[in-house]
Amino acid sequence: MIAATSFVRAPLADVYHAFYDINCWKDVLSDVVNVNVLYQDGRHQLFEMTVARPAGHETVRGIRFCSLNESLTLCQTVPPPGFSKMQGMWTFHSAEEGTRVVAQREIALVPGATLSLDDASQKLHRHLTANLEAFKCWLER
């Protein structure tokens, strides 16, 4: 399990909504090239997201189960190249003068992946931390 935490000086509902509204991710994260919401009903989302990587654009596809102001649970049905599994969740906790966000991921690599599981986990942890920081900056701007 890979986990990263952030504290955001913003109300829980605003923080949840920023993470829920996947269309706004293009404004928050500089590497997001495109987001296509395939289905959304407030509780469930199906989406495609294209991100820029050094080797070129990557498109992932995922499902999110959305529990209002509590959590977003993610399953990528088409994970990034090299991964056979990318699942996890964001949980949102009311804290004094703000909101604590916890991002968790479980991963598995495809056979013969170039990175070891340890290296991939460390890289993903850095990525999760950077993304949480980007959301914090965007929400506190």
Partner 1 sequence: MRELKVSLMLDAPVSAVAAGFWDISTWQAFWQPVRSVTVTYDDGVHQIFEMNVEWLGEVRTVRTVRFRDRQGTISFFCSTPPSNLLYQRGQWSFEQVSNGCRITAARTYIPKLDGQTAPEAFDAEFQERLNQILQGYSRFFASVGG
CB 109 within 8 A of CB 117: yes
Q: Which of 104, 102, 100 is nearest to 124 (CA)?
A: 104
| Cα Dmax for the chain | 47
Q: What is the contact mask toward partner 1 in residues 22 to 41, using x (rule: CB under 8 A)?
A: ----------------xx-x
| 3-class DSSP state of 49 | strand
C-beta closer to partner 1: residue 35 or 130: 35
C-beta closer to partner 1: residue 24 or 75: 75
C-beta closer to partner 1: residue 88 or 98: 88
Question: Contact residues for partner 1 (CB under 8 A)?
Answer: 38-39, 41, 43-44, 46, 63, 65, 75, 77, 85
